[in-house]
Structure 1
């Protein structure tokens, strides 16, 4: 999104949050509704007076007018008024899934690609690679300003860490926790460069260490590499996610941490599932389960991801059997085994993964109920996961031939997708738009289409 698309999307989000249609807001602020719609789509630059009217009527507390003045203060609006991208090159996906094969991972610098959604001239939504330098200078600027405060500590390179009576590994673990917490709120795009900084800093620190100290640094570097793979996965860059997860697997062997190795194998199965590679998802998960120490949660994590692989293969029996096995392994696990790996796995997580598999297998009613239950039980702070579950619930409603509920739920997910930049959310919504196309005359479906259209770049 260009800054103007970002502003328009934010204006629309505030309007939807207040429960107002364009027509109702028009009656209150006395502006032409077609002009307002063009602004919300990012097709036309708004006047400051319009933004001020939105801000006041929607009780946005100065957020919208501050955004507007920030754009004009940087001069970003001039060159990005349309939010279009040039004709897509070979890095743009052409397959029916509308997901891009991103460019090779090379030097992790400002020129490395960030994947962003784009609508092509034939109407599909795909993901294209934009240099991080451009992303952070334009459409990511607003999110960066929001996220900067809690990430201040994470932005300090370990190689410049002041002399202190403190173990550097403990300091690095604190930084990693800050990054994880920030991801739940802001999504991955602003965090990826910071993870790269820490990985590079740890490499420098390892050069001056020997023995156990060096091995401990290698272990924490492995954890950062796994986290980097996860951030890229959530950002939709599966090639980079594979690269960093493979690096993490390699380093885990060097660090001599078998539990971490098993966990990363399970994560590779999860990634394969997101890429819809059923055979890889099952095979890697089975390898992880076999390698897991008895009594740990890691075997249950692996069985959970194997189950979804079976769903992708269309094998309902093996899918349900694997979920039952995952639950048995979870309940038989010892609390202190395998450290912190897999501590997030509980019955609710298995239930939401099962709902996702049920949707794949065509049991859309049960899937929608499963996602709704999971959303209700989701703890506060899991903002991005809330959006993922909403998007998948919306798909299940579409599969159940309930277009109004699908569109309404999809709009809620879109707001979170725009806030976090999660490609997992936006890719599900791209599929939802395709599924809802047969009901495009339904008002709520039309509103969802317009909102999604305003949230993506456009090919010219």
Structure 2
């Protein structure tokens, strides 16, 4: 229900005005704290033009269909916002069920009004949030939840690379939570494939396993589980040495610097980035990637001059890159990426106006497929706007980010919005601020 409401870009308050149900009842139903009545579901379905999707889903839940069935996306057709990918789920890549005690990071409203992130066991998340969790899964299926790549005329390496590409595309659209077990399944598969292999074949499998471990680290990072992200990045670094690919090792070091920045550990961010730059091959993009993450580390230390100097150095290295590199790592790095990272650093350093301008430029230049990244940039732009005391615009942009954060489950987006919630509290009487805070409130669980 919440997923469809966010897709239609309606706040809970605006939907309430349309269907005339009690606001708190609607919020509890969306959070899974109270089962919605059939009449409420039908009112949502009609108002949101879901064409019977929500009604069919509710009837399926009432008849006892489990979440494992719903998560396969066959109960109702996807909303119009979901891209139709030619790639589906691989039977070979069926997910290993995660432990019921594995934690999921979710935002929670405390009794004093703050929003904090708490880790709850997966079984509690799926059981306690009930229908809301199921609806989120069906409302934004993962390109049929995992990749299927035909094995015909493909080597195992090519097959695994095709799976990885689909996982990356699915993450950009739908977020990491349902993809993490799929990636881990591939890692276990590669471990089995390595048995009995020697020489080049074994090194190639180690290289692909490194790539999947890095991807798993990224998914955990976006999901807000930094400890798990560190674990998988450490495994990726270990396997990269076994693969004998120096460029891949440098890339993993740069990614570890980025993770340290997200964890607000500036010393580690700078040290690891400098280590990556020290071993990067001249003419590759990887030195520029590492310099970009080092620059943010300096910003976290409050060193504005050093941060700006490092961003300038990143651009110089980028413009001096070999136009025909043999390494494919870091090919996404361009001036726009460096600029959006610098905007984030400007926000940390207190230049909120410059940060807001940088994020707006980056959002305008984003390709259509980068749905989750758009949400991240919007949330950071909103926080920067709040820093300029433009509360009304900050709340408006924050609502856009919230819609994407709710769809993708990105902890990076929700963490920024939790900060925004606290900053905007002083302007609680402004209508757009009140709408943003009410909408955010409907998206989080509440302390008992």
Question: For 1:182-223, what per-residue CA distance to the aligned partner results, in whole angstroms no more than 9, with x for missing partners?
Answer: 100110000000111011111111112111111110111011
Q: What are the ranges of 5 or more consecutive residues in structure 2 without an aligned counterpart?
A: 68-96
Instruction: Please say if residues 245 and 268 of structure 1, whose CA atoms lie closer than 8 Å, have aligned partners that are also in contact.
Output: yes
Secondary structure in 2 aligned to 1:181? helix
Deviation at 1:110, TM superposition (A): 4.6
Among 125, 132, 141, the alignment partner of 2:134 is: 141
Once the two structures are overlaid, the 10-residue window that deviates more, 364-373 or 34-43, is: 34-43
Rounded to whole Å, the distance in 2 between the matches of 1:152 and 1:225 is 16
Secondary structure in 1 aligned to 2:287? helix
Among 3, 8, 29, the alignment partner of 1:10 is: 3
Match of 1:153 in 2: 147
Deviation at 1:49, TM superposition (A): 1.9
Instruction: Please say if residues 259 and 338 of structure 1, whose CA atoms lie closer than 8 Å, have aligned partners that are also in contact.
Output: no
Instruction: Please say if residues 232 and 241 of structure 1, whose CA atoms lie closer than 8 Å, have aligned partners that are also in contact.
Output: yes
Match of 1:419 in 2: 407
Rounded to whole Å, the distance in 2 between the matches of 1:33 and 1:153 is 39
Match of 2:377 in 1: 389
CA change 1:305–1:24 in 2 (3 A) is closer
Match of 1:231 in 2: 219
Match of 1:216 in 2: 204
Deviation at 1:10, TM superposition (A): 3.2
Instruction: Please say if residues 407 and 445 of structure 1, whose CA atoms lie closer than 8 Å, have aligned partners that are also in contact.
Output: yes
Secondary structure in 1 aligned to 2:274? helix
Instruction: Please say if residues 12 and 438 of structure 2, whose CA atoms lie closer than 8 Å, have aligned partners that are also in contact.
Output: no
Instruction: Please say if residues 136 and 144 of structure 1, whose CA atoms lie closer than 8 Å, have aligned partners that are also in contact.
Output: no
Secondary structure in 1 aligned to 2:284? coil
Question: For 1:325-348, what per-residue CA distance to the aligned partner results, in whole angstroms no more than 9, with x for missing partners?
Answer: 111111110133252210111111
Deviation at 1:404, TM superposition (A): 1.0
Secondary structure in 2 aligned to 1:321? helix
Secondary structure in 2 aligned to 1:340? coil
- 1:205 maps to 2:196: no
Among 47, 54, 68, the alignment partner of 1:64 is: 54
Deviation at 1:319, TM superposition (A): 0.8
Instruction: Please say if residues 387 and 425 of structure 1, whose CA atoms lie closer than 8 Å, have aligned partners that are also in contact.
Output: yes
Rounded to whole Å, the distance in 2 between the matches of 1:327 and 1:383 is 26
Q: RMSD between aligned alpha carbons?
A: 2.5
Matched ranges for 1:261-280 at <5 A:
261-280=249-268
Secondary structure in 2 aligned to 1:196? helix
Match of 2:105 in 1: 115
- 1:125 maps to 2:115: yes
Rounded to whole Å, the distance in 1 between the matches of 2:14 and 2:121 is 39
CA change 1:426–1:74 in 2 (3 A) is farther
Question: For 1:266-319, what per-residue CA distance to the aligned partner results, in whole angstroms no more than 9, with x for missing partners?
Answer: 000100110111111111111111111010000110011011111111111111
Q: What are the ranges of 5 or more consecutive residues in structure 1 without an aligned counterpart?
A: 1-6, 78-106
Instruction: Please say if residues 117 and 127 of structure 1, whose CA atoms lie closer than 8 Å, have aligned partners that are also in contact.
Output: yes
Matched ranges for 1:39-438 at <5 A:
39=29, 44-74=34-64, 109-135=99-125, 138=130, 140-145=133-138, 146-153=140-147, 166-438=154-426
Instruction: Please say if residues 289 and 299 of structure 1, whose CA atoms lie closer than 8 Å, have aligned partners that are also in contact.
Output: yes
Match of 1:99 in 2: none
Rounded to whole Å, the distance in 1 between the matches of 2:110 and 2:238 is 38
Instruction: Please say if residues 119 and 457 of structure 1, whose CA atoms lie closer than 8 Å, have aligned partners that are also in contact.
Output: yes
Instruction: Please say if residues 226 and 264 of structure 1, whose CA atoms lie closer than 8 Å, have aligned partners that are also in contact.
Output: yes
CA change 1:113–1:44 in 2 (3 A) is closer
CA change 1:29–1:225 in 2 (3 A) is closer
Match of 1:22 in 2: 13
Secondary structure in 2 aligned to 1:118? strand
Deviation at 1:411, TM superposition (A): 1.0
Question: For 1:239-258, what per-residue CA distance to the aligned partner results, in whole angstroms no more than 9, with x for missing partners?
Answer: 00001001100111111110
Deviation at 1:126, TM superposition (A): 2.3
Rounded to whole Å, the distance in 2 between the matches of 1:34 and 1:449 is 14
